[in-house]
């Protein structure tokens, strides 16, 4: 799963507090269909309107979820400073 690092999640401030599926996929840097699969599998926090198919995501919940995922930081921006 190629998700953004927690350092990159700080860029989430550019997104509104409540996200559509397309916005959430962009924030997580994944394809919309992959995000829908993660929701179906119960792996990503999501909110649905009563009786509807529309999904909404809370930006801060997604960022917190992302930070809780196992793995290591692969971003080049943080590695640049480590070698100096």
Residue 4 belongs to a domain: no
**Prediction pTM value:** 0.69
8 vs 75: CA distance, rounded Å: 8
- Check whether 6 has a pLDDT greater than 80: no
Work out the end-to-end distance of the chain between its first and last CA atoms, rounded to an integer number of angstroms.
29
Q: What token pair was written down for 4? A: 């953004």
Q: Give the domain CATH number at 23.
A: 1.10.10
- How open is the CA angle 12-49-39, to the nearest 5 degrees? 55
What's the pLDDT score for residue 21? 95
What is the arithmetic mean of pLDDT over 30-47? 95
What's the pLDDT score for residue 51? 84
| Antiparallel, parallel or unpaired: β 55-58 and 47-48 | antiparallel
Instruction: Please give the residue range of the domain that contains residue 28.
Output: 11-69
- Check whether 84 has a pLDDT greater than 70: no
Residue 81 belongs to a domain: no
């Amino acid at each position: 799963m190629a998700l953004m690092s927690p350092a990159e999640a700080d860029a989430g401030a550019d997104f509104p507090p409540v996200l559509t599926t397309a916005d959430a996929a962009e924030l997580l840097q994944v394809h919309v269909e992959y995000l829908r699969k993660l929701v179906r599998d119960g792996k990503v926090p999501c909110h649905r309107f009563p009786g509807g198919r529309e999904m909404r995501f809370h930006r801060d919940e997604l960022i917190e979820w992302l930070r809780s995922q196992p793995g290591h930081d692969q971003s080049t921006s943080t590695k640049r400073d480590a070698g100096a």
